[in-house]
Structure 1
Amino acid sequence: MQERDIPAVLAIQEESYAAAVLEDEAVIRSRLAACPELAWVAEDAEGVCAYLFAYQSRLGRITPLDGEFEPHAEADCLYLHDLAVARRAGGRGIGPALVRRNLQQAQAARLRYSALVSVQDSAEFWSRQGYRAHDGLEPQQADNLASYPIPALYMVRNLHP
């Protein structure tokens, strides 16, 4: 992802998410600046058609809605914060391809887990990618999960069986 992709990312976010969970341009720019090597876009003939933001974290830590990415010096987990695919590109396997790309980076970095917050009934999609619901969050992390004003589920995938 490059700075020039931000307008397309914002447009895809707006068509993909409920208004209650939209993140503004400053937050999106901050995410790109924090971890540019883990921010990806996919393009088709019309331009950017999907994006994914991620960063290295610790298992059980959740980024609150609109919260800053806090890469962890002793990371064991790739946190996928936001994946969205434009309607015009749906059904082409672009979302899973972006996830696979990030997971390859996580495995190369010897991270043990990947985690995310599933919103908008996306748990089935994430289950197909190997993620499972994860309980037992510390109180602060449960509060971070509760910052999403729509139903949200913390999910984890082991990267090394």
Structure 2
Amino acid sequence: MQERDIPAVLAIQEQSYAAEVLEDEAVIRSRLATFPQLAWVAEDDEGVCAYLFAYHSRLGKVTPLDGEFCTDGEADCLYLHDLAVAGRAAGRGIGPALVRHNLQQAGAAQLRYSALVSVQDSTGFWSRLGYEAHDELDPPQAGNLASYQIPAVYMVRDLHQ
């Protein structure tokens, strides 16, 4: 992802998510600046058609909506914060391809887990990619999960299985 991709990312986000979970441009720019090597876009003939933001974190740590990506010196987890695919590109396998690409990076970084917050009834999609609901969160992390204001599920994938 490059700075020039931000307008397309914002358009795809607005098309893909409920108003309660939209993140503003400053947050999106911060995510790109913090972990540019883990921010990816996919393009088709019309331009950017999907994106994925991720960062290194710790198992059990949930990023709140609009929260900063905090680096952790003892990271053991690739946290997938936001994946969205434009409606015109749905059904082409682009979302799973972006996830697989980031999971390969996680393996190279010797991270043991990948985690995410599933919203808008996407648990089936994530389950097909090997993620399972993880309900054991301490109170501050459960509060971060509640910041999404819509039903949200913290999900984890063990990368060493």
Confirm whether residue 73 of structure 1 aligns to residue 77 of structure 2. Answer: no
Count of residues paired in the alignment: 161
Q: Which residue number in structure 1 is paired with residue 123 of structure 2?
A: 123
Q: Which runs of 5+ in 1 are unaligned?
A: none
Q: Distance in 2 between matches of 1:42 and 1:73?
A: 29
Alignment partner of 1:50 is 2:38: no
> Residue type matched to 2:44 in 1?
D
CA distance in 2, matches of 1:137, 1:25: 29
**1:144 alignment counterpart:** 144
Match of residue 159 from structure 2: 159
2:87 maps to 1:87? yes
SS state of the match for residue 8, structure 1?
helix
1:106 corresponds to which residue? 106
- Any stretches of 5+ residues in structure 2 without a counterpart? none
By how many angstroms is 1:17 displaced?
A: 0.1
- Give how far 1:135 is off: 1.3
Which letter maps to 1:126? W
TM-score in terms of structure 2 length: 0.99
What SS does the aligned partner of 1:23 have? coil
Q: CA deviation at 1:141?
A: 0.3
Distance 2:7 2:66 in 1: 18
Post-superposition offset of 1:96: 0.1
What amino acid is aligned across from residue 130 of structure 2 in structure 1?
Answer: G
CA distance in 1, matches of 2:119, 2:47: 26
Percent identity (aligned): 81
Partner of 1:41 in structure 2? 41
Q: CA deviation at 1:70?
A: 0.5
Which residue in 1 is equivalent to 2:18? Answer: 18
Superposition deviation, residue 136 in structure 1: 1.1
Structure 1 position 81, deviation (Å): 0.1
SS at match of 2:59: coil
> 2: distance between equivalents of 1:57 and 1:97?
21
Helix, strand or coil at the partner of 2:27: helix
CA shift for structure 1 position 71: 1.6
